[in-house]
Structure 1
Amino acid sequence: MNYKNFPMVSKVIFGRGSFNQVNDVLAPKRLGIHSPFIFLIDDVFKGNSWLTSRISLAYDDRIIFVSTKEEPKTAQVDDLVEDIILKGKERPSGIIGIGGGSILDLTKAVSIMLTNDGLAEDYQGWDLVKNPAIYHVGVPTLSGTGAEVSRTAVLTGPEKKLGINSDFTPFDQVILDSKLTRGVSKEQWFYTGMDCYIHCVESLTGTYLNAFSQSYGNMALELCKEIFLDDKLSEEEAQEKLMMASWHGGMSIVYSQVGVAHALSYGLSYLLGTKHGIGNCIVFNHLEEFYPEGVKIFKEMLAKHHISLPQGVCAHLSDSEFDIMIDVALGLEPLWENAIGIDWKKTITREKLKSLYQRM
């Protein structure tokens, strides 16, 4: 048997206030005075001097504020790469992403596309990247997606929603500072946290499960239950534990995969632009058939935190629109194989997926 030799994040700093060390971390990586560090920052932090004042810009360094109102797109990556190349004298010393999963995925993709020819959409898939990415750093300000540790940069392209999955995708450095997650709305906190919870359920019940995935998945799942069902944690403890749940949840799918919820959620996102976290929740709420225990606990979490999910998001779609979502979902074959097994096509039919979408 051939065992896949997966890369991991080589360096990580963890602790409240650790973002204050960002300049010390970056300084040894500067290639020259005309090789800037480019900071891609979620534009919700525009005007937030509490965060930006900690970044010491020098020489040609730049901050680019990026909107995350929509899911990250391949065209957005191409535009950022073109902007960086046209305004720079030399290749950047590094790309630093500060934000939630969308920003982290954009950062990973931009760092890859600065060293690889063509368009970002050309690399949607598995192991298509030929050249190592430039140095890239992830600083999550939301916890749950696992984007800080994963080997994929999930993007919506002109034809599909699919990640750039490669050995060159993972960050070279991650800074985990739970102080950066304060001020997140309750809904955003819940939806992003549920992305982690759903990762774990899909990984732990999948056919790809192994001891590596199981150990990380179990840890993240127990943390999620503690965070979202217990009342004993302080706000700071909950922030730190969710940050670690996100990390472990991301690690749980390094050697396995996600499953039904993510496959269907990608279809929603591609057609309707539904944000990933809430999309997973909308889908998972209807998946008792596949994850009975996981969905039962999920509904307890929904009730405890008084979260009302959108209803009827697919109520007015045409047959052709359903077909678009179904095509996107069926294209994610590794997810279905993990969830159902190698014979998944016998039960996961177009009619089956349409009936699931119609419930949403």
Structure 2
Amino acid sequence: MNYKNIPMVPRVVFGRGSFNQLNEIISPKRLNVNAPFIFLVDDVFRGDSWLTSRIPLAYQDRLIYVSAKEEPKTSQVDELVEDIILKSKERPSGIIGIGGGTILDLAKAVSIMLTNNGSASDYQGWDLVKNPAIYHVGIPTISGTGAEVSRTTVLTGPDKKLGINSDFTPFDQVILDSELTKDVPKDQWFYTGMDCFIHCVESLKGTYLNAFSQSYGEKAYELCNQLFLENIITDEEAQEKLMMASWHGGMSIVYSQVGVAHALSYGLSYLLGTKHGIGNCIVFDQLEEYYPEDVALFKTMKQKHNIKLPQGICANLSDEDFDIMINIALELEPLWENAVGKSWKKTITREKLKELYQKM
């Protein structure tokens, strides 16, 4: 038996206000005054001095605002890498991503592509990266995606939506400051929280389940139930618990895999540009056949928080459109094997997937 030897984030700081330690943490990693730190920051913080005034810029450092309105693309990674190389005197000392899953995934991908030749699309898949990434730090400002802890960076490429899954992808340092999540809009909080809930369900109900992934998955699942079904905690406690749920949910899939909802939502994202969290919710809403108890729980959570999901997003699609989404979904073989088992191809047919997409 050949067991996975997984990389984990080697250093993590947790606590409200820990963002203020950023300078102290990264200063020893500065290679020299000409090797900048590049801060990739979600552009929702443009003009928000509460956060941006605390970013410790020095020497040749750059702050680049990045929009998270669309899912991250391989072309976007390539453009950022080219811009950084052209405007830096030397290879950067490090990349610091400050934002949600989109920004964290871009930070991971950029740090990899600064040391590996070609386009980011060349590395979409499992274990294709040859050279270690440069030093990279993840600072989530929204919780749920697990991007801060995972060994993948999910990207939409010219031909597919697939992560750069590698041992060099995880961050070298993560700062978990739940105070940074205090202004997340309600619907966004729900969608990324449900991304975490769905990670747990797909890990715990999958054929790849083992004691390692189960221990993390069960904790995150319990936290999600507390957060989305009970009314017993303050805002601060809720922010801290969701941050921990996100971390544990991410760790749960590191040693197992996600399943049906993620496979299908990649198709929606590739064709329609549907954001990952809301895409997972739209798909999961239709998956009683695969996760009956958990879909029922999800519907209760949706009702409790008065969330109205978009309806009929696949209503006017052509057969060709459905084929594109089905092709993307079927490429994700480890997800289907985890969800359904080794003989998944017998039941997961093109007709079956089209029928599921038509319900959305």
Q: Cα deviations across residues 37-72 of structure 1 (Å, max 9, x unaligned)?
A: 000000000011110111121110000000111100
Q: Corresponding residue for 2:330?
A: 330
Give the CA deviation at 1:341. Answer: 0.3
The CA deviation at 1:201 is 0.2
2:102 aligned residue: 102
Q: How does 1:235-314 map to 2 (within 5 A)?
A: 235-314=235-314
- Report the residue type matching 2:117 in the other structure: D
Q: Tell me the amino acid that sits aligned with residue 3 of structure 1.
A: Y
Q: Alignment identity in percent?
A: 79
Q: State the distance in 1 between where 2:87 and 2:50 align.
A: 27
1:225 and 2:225 are equivalent in the alignment: yes
Mapped partners of 1:287, 1:39: distance in 2: 39
TM-score of the pair, normalised by structure 1: 1.00
Deviations 1:274-324 (A, max 9, x none): 000000000000000000011010000000000000000000000000000
Partner of 1:204: 204
SS at match of 2:163: strand
Q: Which residue of 2 aligns with 1:343?
A: 343
> In structure 2, how many angstroms separate the alpha carbons of the residues matched to 1:280 and 1:127?
25
Partner of 2:33: 33
Secondary structure at 1:337's aligned position in 2? Answer: helix
- Deviations 1:229-257 (CA, angstroms, capped at 9, x unpaired): 00011000000000000000000001100
- Structure 1 portions without partners, runs of 5+: none
In structure 1, C-alpha distance between the alignment counterparts of 2:78 and 2:156, rounded to whole Å: 12
In structure 1, C-alpha distance between the alignment counterparts of 2:145 and 2:274, rounded to whole Å:
15
2:214 and 2:3 map into 1 onto residues whose CA distance is 17
Rounded to whole Å, the distance in 1 between the matches of 2:56 and 2:104 is 20
The CA distance in 2 between the partners of 1:311 and 1:186, in whole Å, is 19
1:170 Cα deviation after fit: 0.1
Measured after TM superposition, the shift of residue 202 of structure 1 is 0.2
Q: 1:294, 1:330 → 2: CA distance?
A: 23
Counterpart residue type for residue 352 of structure 1: K
Instruction: Report the AA paired with residue 78 of structure 1.
Output: D
1:17 corresponding residue in structure 2: 17
Compute the TM-score of the two structures, normalised by the length of structure 2: 1.00
Taking the aligned partners of 1:17 and 1:59, their CA distance within structure 2 comes to: 25
Amino acid paired to 1:241: K
Question: What is the aligned-residue RMSD (CA, Å)?
Answer: 0.3
Partner of 1:253: helix, strand, or coil?
helix
- When the two structures are aligned, how many residues end up with a matched partner? 360
* Unaligned residue ranges in structure 2 (runs of 5+): none
User: Can you list the C-alpha shifts for 1:86-138, whole angstroms capped at 9, x where unaligned?
Assistant: 00000000000000000000000000000000000000000000000000000
Q: What residue number does 2:93 align with?
A: 93
- Deviation, 1:4, is 1.2
Helix, strand or coil for the counterpart of 1:313? coil
